[in-house]
Every structure is written in C-alpha cells, then in structure tokens.
Amino acid sequence: MRKRHQKLKDPLLKALIRALDENRVTDGASARRIYSKDGSVMEGGRAGIICFPEDTSEVAACVSIAKEFDREFVTRGAGTGLAGGSVPCNDPIMIVTTRMNKIIDVDLKKRIAWVQPGVVNLDLSNSLKGTGLHFAPDPSSQQACTIGGNVANNSGGPHCLAYGVTNSHVAALEVVLPDASIAQLGTIEGEAGGYDLRGVFVGGEGTLGVATLIAVRLTEDPP
C-alpha cells in the first residue's frame, strides 16, 4: 500500500476508503502494475484504484461510487484468464473478488452449494470429499481460478463433454448491476419462469454486473 495514501485529497479514493477501509483500497504503483495484467499476453492495461470488497453490500458500495464519479469499473477474480477479459483500460476502478472466498452453505440433499465468487474451483471440490459430490467444471487452472471467473467466462474443462460447461452448473446468482442495485437471477427450486436471465448473465464476461453469490449444482462422483 502507498504510505498512508499520498493521494488522500482525491475524493474518489476517499469515498472508496470510507466504503471499505484503507487496508482494502490502494492506488499504489506496484498494485496497479499487477492488476493491469491477467494470464494472457495482452499488454497495455491500465488499472486505477483497486478495491477488495468482502460481501455483496461492499461490492454495491463500490459500484455506486463508480457511478457517482462517472468512472468505469472492472471486476477481477484470480486473473487466470488467457483472453484478456480482466485487462483494464483507461484507469478504471478494479473490484477484486479474491477476498470473497467463503463457502456459505452446502445442501447435500438438494446438491446445491452457495459460494462467494472468490472460492477456488478445486477448494470447493476438496471441501466436498467424502460426500460423493463435486463441482464438475474443471478448467486447466482449477487450482487457482475462481468460481466467479467460471461464471464470467462460462468455463468448461476436460469433463465438460460429459457434464457441460459452467452454465449447466449454476442454479442461481445474486448480482450487483451497473446501477448498484442488487438482483437475484434464477432459483434453486426448479426452473424460473420467464426469460432465463441467469443464463444470459453466465458468460457475460462481467459486462452485465458483478456476481456476488453463486448457487452451484453439485455432481455425483463417478463410480
């Protein structure tokens, strides 16, 4: 972190620190360099202020501040993507979800787990060992990539031919929309009526909002 935030006169920085705290907001040069890149070979990214929210309300606060100051924002997970999806342009606010890494609830009977977007794929499956269930999407980066990133990219993996890509394994989402409102898309109780907004959101590359809670379907272990 930059020493005591040398730019505390910046009203945008001050607003974000008030919403989170100074230990979870930085505009330091080294952090900006790190978050200007992802796992791709794309160059020329430029990150602005970097925020580390820990729950839905804090994400909504960051988005609301971005709207108030007419600043773009980019959501980033582990940064393992190879297509440049989280490489920022023009100094946007970076909303980094890696601290949102809690498994909130697991219902073995319904085969549903509610997780925050920063939960790592393999960590979820490891937590389910002995239950006979696992989370099927298994990108090559599953030891590091996050479920929020899976949702953004509609990720697959070697077993997607048998089990389907991420869209087949997401039952519902809590999301923060670009106007900072909070919505739930989909349901864990069967199929929702009307348009499949959950299906539209999955694979949206973060352009439709920020997923802050994800209900994933769990798959039986193979024999």
Tens digits of per-residue pLDDT, 78-137?
988 888 888 999 999 999 999 999 999 999 999 999 999 999 999 999 999 999 999 999
Pairing between strand 112-115 and 210-217?
antiparallel
* Residue range(s) occupied by CATH 3.30.465.10 in the chain: 103-220
Q: Quick check: 143 pLDDT over 90?
A: no
Q: Quick check: 7 pLDDT over 60?
A: no
Predicted confidence at residue 128, as pLDDT, reads 97
User: Which has the higher per-residue pLDDT, 6 or 150?
Assistant: 150
Alpha helices in the chain (DSSP H): 11-19, 29-34, 56-68, 121-127, 147-153, 160-163, 197-201
Predicted confidence at residue 8, as pLDDT, reads 60
pTM above 0.85, yes or no: yes
Predicted confidence at residue 1, as pLDDT, reads 47
Residue with tokens 């973060």: 206
Cα 26 to Cα 29: distance, rounded to the nearest angstrom:
9
Q: Which two tokens stand for residue 14?
A: 């001050």
- Top-level class of domain 103-220: alpha beta
- Top-level class of domain 11-96: alpha beta
At residue 64, what are phi and psi to the nearest 5 degrees?
A: -60, -40
Tens digits of per-residue pLDDT, 189-218?
877 778 999 999 999 999 999 999 999 999
Residue 59 has, within 13 A of its CA and on its CB side, a CA count of: 28
Closest residue by Cα to residue 186 from 166, 206, 205: 166
- The proportion of the chain whose per-residue pLDDT surpasses 70, expressed as a percent, equals 96
Q: Quick check: 2 pLDDT over 70?
A: no
* Residue range(s) occupied by CATH 3.30.43.10 in the chain: 11-96
Tens digits of per-residue pLDDT, 39-83?
888 888 999 999 999 999 999 999 999 999 999 999 999 988 888
